[in-house]
Structures are given as structure tokens and as C-alpha cells.
Structure 1
Amino acid sequence: MDQAPGSRQDDAQSGLPVCYRHPDRETGIRCTRCERPICPECMVNASVGFQCPNCVREGSGTGHAPGASQPRTIAGGAIAADPHLVTKILLGINVAMFVLQQVLGDSFTDRFDLIGRAIMPALGYGELQGVAEGQWYRLLTSMFLHGSVIHILSNMLSLWWIGGPLEAALGRVRYLALYLVSGLAGSALTYLIAAPNAASLGASGAIFGLFGALVVLVRRQRLDMRPVIALLVINLVITFGWAGIAWQAHIGGLVAGVVIGFGMLHAPRERRALVQFGTCAVMLAAVLVVTFLRTAQLT
């Protein structure tokens, strides 16, 4: 917004910062790399949000002073040549596991889905056991299994649409930590609340974790929240309105995603890594506590 130089007092009263390149212009947008406020004239489209001209020059290799710090994502992650690589790998793992399910049948799925406590004759390999019997790996492996073509298709489309922008904003390591911890949180809440002999599977807990972090990212960048909120509400309506859906995984993943996303995107710069990965560690500790408590109930 163009304003006369004499309106600086009004800017201070409005609470909005001013563009660091044009001090007479207030703005609600910040560069996704250096986080300095920039006005519409200075905004350069990036894969996520906008960058200022200085960061664009540094990222392209021109005007970059020797010894200067390398450009980072809004969360402090390294800028990658392929900002969607981890998302592609996760997609590949999910699809490969689904193919194995189709080739090997129920005996494969029954070994790796999430089930609390269910000792029963199984399909040719002795007894089927659950998390309560010590098979904690099911909390993780169930995140990469799906029950039908529609199930995996919907989850993988969501992963691609949401995961790509988030990976670009967080960086590979932080994004992968968000995905895995959110998925484990969804599995843990399912283990805690669902019937112990009810099997569940799917990447939905991790996907809802990405939803939660995306809400935090959009709010952090002061973008229009309405499309993201509308999409989240639609998914929550489906979660509670459609029979056979493990809503516990969705809610557990969503809560974890919001908490981790807030820690990732609002961590103070001087202690950024400590706060970010500390948040992930706290959520992972919560998963362990819930799992121990539920196991103690069932054994």
C-alpha cells in the first residue's frame, strides 16, 4: 500500500511492519528465506510464498558475498534442488507396500497392520499377535498399508498436494520428522482408544499431521486461510460421517501436526533446531507413554 512519508505514525498504530526496502509501505508479507517484511513491489514468487529480491539474487548465485550464510527455508532447512524428493519417496514406499499386499494377500497385511491384542489362529503362520504382545513395529508399518485402491489413491493424492509445499517450506529432514511422528501419534491414539482386536491401517494419521502443519504454515505466512480450513473441515466430516474409518488416527495425527508445525515454524532463530526437534521428541515421548499405558491395560 503506497502512503505518504508523513503517515509513518499511522503505520506504527496499525501494528503492521514496513517493507525493509520501502520504509513508507506497510505490509503483512514476509520473505520466506530471511523473514524480513516485503511489499508487493518486492515480492518474488517462490515455490512456497514469496522471497525478497536480495534472497533471490543470493539463491541464483549472483550478488552472494563470500562467506555469507546459505539461503534456508522458512523453517531453517536447507534449500534442496528437488524440494519434493521425500514426498516422492514416501509415495513410492506406500505404492510398493500396496503392491506387496495385492501379491502376497492377507497373510502379509495381517503381519503389519495395527492391531492391539488379538491372539487367534492366523493364515498359515501360527498365531496372530498385536502391539500388546510386543509387536510395536505395527505402529509404524501400518502407516504404509492400505485397504483398497480408493483408500491409497485418496491418501496419495493428499500427500502429493499437501506434502510438496510443506517439504519445500520445512526442508527434507524436518518434513520427514513431521510425517513420521504424526503418523505414529495417530497409531498410538488408535491403539489407546479403539477396540484391541480391531485392525486398522493407512497413511491417514500422517496425512492429517501434514494438514495440521499446513494450517500453521498458511497462518504463519498470513495467507488466505479459507481454502485450507474448508479442505480440513471436509476431511473431518468424512472422518466422522463415514463408517469404517479409524477417526482416532486422524485426530491423533492432526493434533501432532499442529503442535509440531507450530514448533517448526515459530521456533526462535537462535534456538531453532533445539526447539524444532525438541518438539518432535516430546511428541514421540507422548507416543511411547500412551503405548506403555495401553499395553499395561491389555496385559
Structure 2
Amino acid sequence: MFIRRESFSQYIRLYPVVAILLALNIAIYLITMLPFIGDKIYFAGMGVNAYIAAGEWWRLFTPMFLHLGIMHILFNMFCLFVFGPELEKIAGKTRFLTIYLLSGIFGNVAAYFLQDLNYSHVGASGAIFGIFGAFGALVYYTKKVLPELRQIILPIIAISVVMTFLQSNINVIAHIVGLIVGFLIGLSYFHPKRIISWRKKRR
């Protein structure tokens, strides 16, 4: 289910939303690596609570497309590359994008209200955890008919949550809130009738 065997062109054609998000994140990361202009773009978009409080509300959105270091973006984009396509196929393009963006935005909003004014952050992790949360909702509805999904997703969610608390410099609030938001949105999307339709398409 989560093993990608598509060619490059097939991947783009079958999962256009995931492909666009991957391209945007990678392109913006490369731009922020450029001398002079890169730092300006990075600091103009990072989530800084003090600046948000001063009225720069776009910083609740833009941190989702910024990353601090190569390992940061590699991990997030790997998760998006592997897990995003199946969710886009199940939920549909618009609903997948809704899960992704709302999970990331609400994670950033929570970090704004629950952290102090000096707190700053970047990364798509809240949105990535939203994908995990949506799969958690799918597991909730299909635990008896798709046991293999449960066996894959629940350990991934558990490990991801544990690692959130073990690593340093992690936006814990965005991770947990993104996971919860993705789960709640998934509960509204993945009703039994939609699951039955999805299973028929996979056969």
C-alpha cells in the first residue's frame, strides 16, 4: 500500500496534489539556500510568535513550506512522498489538500497561543502528522475490514508521537495538534459508504 512503484510521470499524473506540495517545499528550500535573498525569504516566512502578535498573520501559514536543514526537509518530504499518495487517492484531491493545510495551520495556531512570544518555528511536520491522523480515522472505520492498514498505521503513529517527545528542537504542539486535526477531519470524510467505494476501486 505504501510502497511506491510508479514512474516519475505516473506519480505526477496520479497524485498531482502531493507532487505539487513536494515541488513547492523543495523549490522553496533551495531558494532559501541562495545567498542574500535566501535568508530574507526564510526569515520573512518563519513562524515567530512576536511578529504574529504584531499582525503578521501569514506566518501561521508560511512556516509549512520552510525547513531548517537538509535532514528536516528530507524526513518531511519522505513522509509526504510515501504516505501522501494513498491518502490523496482515498480522500480525493480537494479533501487531501484540506487535511494537509488545515492540520498544518491549526498546528501553527496552537503553537502561537500555547508558546511564548519568543517562540519561532518552521516545517511541514504539523501537516504531515495531519496525514497520519487522517489515516488513524481511516483505521477507526475499517479496523475489521482492513486489518493490514491498522497493523501498518498504528505503529507509525505511535513511533512518530514517541519520537516527537524524545527529539530536541521539535514543535511538539504542532505535531500533536496536527495529528488530532487530521483525525477529526478524517472522521468526517471517511464514512462507511466512501470506504466501500474506495475498496471497490482497488479491486
TM-score, normalised by the number of residues in structure 2 = 0.83
Which protein has greater RCO, CA pairs closer than 8 Å, 6+ apart? 2
Match of 2:180 among 222, 230, 255: 255
Aligned counterpart, 2:112? 191
Segments of structure 2 that go 5 or more residues without pairing to the other structure are 3-11, 195-203
Among 113, 133, 137, which residue is 2:54 paired with? 133
Match of 1:218 among 136, 139, 144: 139
Quote the Cα distance in structure 1 between the aligned partners of 2:137 and 2:81.
Answer: 18
Who is 1:92 aligned against? 23
Give per-residue Cα distances to partners, 1:217-253, cap 9 Å, x unaligned.
2333332212211111111111111111010110111
* 3-state DSSP of counterpart to 2:121: coil
Instruction: Give distance in 1, aligned partners of 2:127 and 2:58.
Output: 16
Residues 180-231 of structure 1: CA distance to partner in whole angstroms, max 9, x if unpaired?
1111011111111122112100000000000000122233333221221111
Determine the structure 2 residue equivalent to 1:114.
47
Partner of 1:75: none
The answer on whether the counterparts of 2:133 and 2:180 sit within 8 Å (CA) in structure 1 is yes
State the structure with more CA Rg: 1
1:143-171 superposed Cα distances (whole Å, 9 cap, x missing partner): 00000100000000101111110000011
**2-side partners of 1:105 and 1:160: how far apart?**
25
Residues 17 and 88, structure 2, Cα contact 8 Å, conserved in 1: yes
Alignment of 1:143-292 (within 5 A): 143-221=64-142, 222-224=145-147, 225-266=150-191
Whole-Å separation in 2 of the counterparts to 1:267 and 1:193: 36
**Distance 1:88-1:229 versus aligned 2 partners, 3 A rule:** same
Q: CA deviation at 1:268?
A: 7.3
Deviations for 1:8-37, whole angstroms, at most 9, x for unmatched residues?
xxxxxxxxxxxxxxxxxxxxxxxxxxxxxx
Q: Percent identity?
A: 37
What is the match of residue 40 of structure 1? none
Q: TM-score, normalised by structure 1?
A: 0.57
Higher helix content, 1 or 2? 2
Distance in 2 separating the partners of 1:83 and 1:216: 23
Distance 1:267 1:98, change over 3 A: same
Q: CA 1:191/1:159 → structure 2, altered by over 3 Å: closer, same or farther?
A: same
State the Cα RMSD in Å: 1.8
Segments of structure 1 that go 5 or more residues without pairing to the other structure are 1-46, 49-80, 118-129, 270-299
SS in 2 for 1:196: coil
Q: Is the 8 A contact 1:112 1:138 kept in 2?
A: yes
Aligned residues: 179
Counterpart in 1 of 2:7?
A: none
- TM superposition outliers: structure 1 runs of 4+ over 3 Å: none
